[in-house]
Structure 1
């Protein structure tokens, strides 16, 4: 078996950290929308905003002669996993769960990345990656327990948490698909076209989910111009457009396994954002957790192995 070529560079780290910062904020904002906008509609609206921003720069990818349509099955799958299911599941989970619980479950991302890569992509898992996963998850536990391990016993899990488990698994599959374009020419496309292709096809899935939500009588819209619309625009530009671009670029450089470890920064940023909104300044345990999570990332990036002959990585153009 072979291992995916992995290089943790400063550029890759910057891309992945920015994505996790935005997704940390997304958990807080998504929870705020509970009672104001139903989950499927929230997911649909944010992708409409992202598509509207990208359209002037990447509309050619949607032309009938575009190579996109020759690989529509791949992009329908990518858009289902990354645009449709993951975010819809996350927002539904936040209906009954808390941002901290949701991001705690997301901390299992490195494990799912390693398992998916090993089972479906013949990626060799080395001891450094397993050790890095353990160290990084300990850092997440420090955040959630606020430096007191007894605090972790106070966390309560609800049915929405299981939906987040499914979302995390699907995101791991999506990330591995990003790094394995196969015969698809997407690695030669500008990143705007690559992302718009996913979003436009993802809108199909988002519409299906929104229609299903409406048929069950669960749709809800109660938006205020002063706060709801600015937060919705943030969801469309930050966690959707910018974060997806950064994650794609980071995965292209570092590989899915290492990128998965950066997901453990999301609970830290979520906790910091929640603390900031409550007027609570960061504490020493936040610094300790950050150190452990970063240590896990560094450890997991050790023991590089060459990539399989002829394999390619997705490298979106800047």
Structure 2
């Protein structure tokens, strides 16, 4: 499969924005509860998209006929993935979170194989191995002995669950039910479709935020400072606006187009660029500059994308192609 420059841009912008989301999310730790922050984020997205998408409400029957699917993708892509990521950032670092998020291609292949009957090709497995090797290089900080000392914290485990949720979301986005395909598909544009997802996912996020508020209220120690449920200060508002516009609207739009263009398996490999962008974002905002192993990891991840996309063909693939002809 040949990737055009436009498709490459569509697939590179999301990991760039999501890396920024992880760094900004870490910067906002302690300013407000993480699940409430996710709910407010998508509330801002709903407001920003409303001028482009409000007409979808003129035909509510189209939504009601498809509500189980819309509720599912909204819950997975809007309500679950991001809430788990912000929870993970409470105890983990942006680099760790994005590194674990780079396991999404593996989850994507497993979900495709088990849930959608997709066959795995040799080049996909080799590409996954190269990309994971690049991720491990960053995790090891250029010294493989460091890997033996890595300890997973609760946030790392939460990010594993988030990665599985995103893999499921992407497959349901690429393989929708019959009423969302062909002539049966409603004539929603990208903003209307995303807005409907946000409406359903936002309800899930609000419900989870209420549970979080109840739990925090029951477990707050006497004399402890009260938790602010509303953003305090212009820095918090600036961070929320960034994650509402960049990682939400812009990234989701590009991701949807990218998945439609190349499929979820190949698109998933571009998520492995997120840790590299996280290192760059961390350098800009946290003063943590990239080390020599970051560009090396980028080369490995790029090689994985090249192999999985067919830019670099394996001998077994060429043999299979000759046999097919």
Same fold (TM over 0.5): yes
- Measured after TM superposition, the shift of residue 105 of structure 1 is 1.2
Most deviating of 183-192 and 171-180? 183-192
The change in CA–CA distance for 1:25 and 1:186 in structure 2 (over 3 A counts) is farther
- Residue correspondences, number: 300
- Measured after TM superposition, the shift of residue 120 of structure 1 is 1.1
Does 1:246 pair with 2:254? yes
- The residue number in structure 2 matching 1:215 is 214
Q: Structure 1-normalised TM-score?
A: 0.88
CA distance in 2, matches of 1:83, 1:222: 20
1:49 alignment partner, one of 40, 44, 47: 44
CA distance in 2, matches of 1:125, 1:210: 39
CA distance in 1, matches of 2:10, 2:204: 27
Q: Structure 2-normalised TM-score?
A: 0.87
Give the alignment of 1:86-165 within 5 angstroms. 86-165=81-160
CA distance in 2, matches of 1:260, 1:191: 20
How large is the Cα RMSD of the aligned pairs?
2.0
CA distance in 1, matches of 2:171, 2:154: 27
Post-superposition CA distance 1:81-125 (Å, at most 9, x none): 000010011111111111122112111111111111011111110
- Measured after TM superposition, the shift of residue 279 of structure 1 is 3.7
Are 1:58 and 1:192, in contact at CA under 8 Å, matched by a contact in 2? yes
Are 2:279 and 2:289, in contact at CA under 8 Å, matched by a contact in 1? no
- Measured after TM superposition, the shift of residue 298 of structure 1 is 1.2
Does 1:225 pair with 2:233? yes
Does 1:266 pair with 2:274? yes
- Measured after TM superposition, the shift of residue 281 of structure 1 is 4.2
Are 2:104 and 2:268, in contact at CA under 8 Å, matched by a contact in 1? yes
Give the alignment of 1:48-67 within 5 angstroms. 48-67=43-62
1:257 alignment partner, one of 265, 274, 291: 265
CA distance in 2, matches of 1:121, 1:272: 36
- The residue number in structure 1 matching 2:188 is 189
- Report the structure, 1 or 2, having the larger helix content: 2
The change in CA–CA distance for 1:94 and 1:265 in structure 2 (over 3 A counts) is same
CA distance in 2, matches of 1:126, 1:19: 25
- Measured after TM superposition, the shift of residue 21 of structure 1 is 0.3
Unaligned ranges ≥5, structure 2:
218-226, 318-325
Most deviating of 182-191 and 244-253? 182-191
- Measured after TM superposition, the shift of residue 46 of structure 1 is 0.7
Are 1:9 and 1:254, in contact at CA under 8 Å, matched by a contact in 2? no
- The residue number in structure 1 matching 2:309 is 301
- Measured after TM superposition, the shift of residue 280 of structure 1 is 4.7
Are 1:86 and 1:170, in contact at CA under 8 Å, matched by a contact in 2? yes
Are 1:116 and 1:173, in contact at CA under 8 Å, matched by a contact in 2? yes
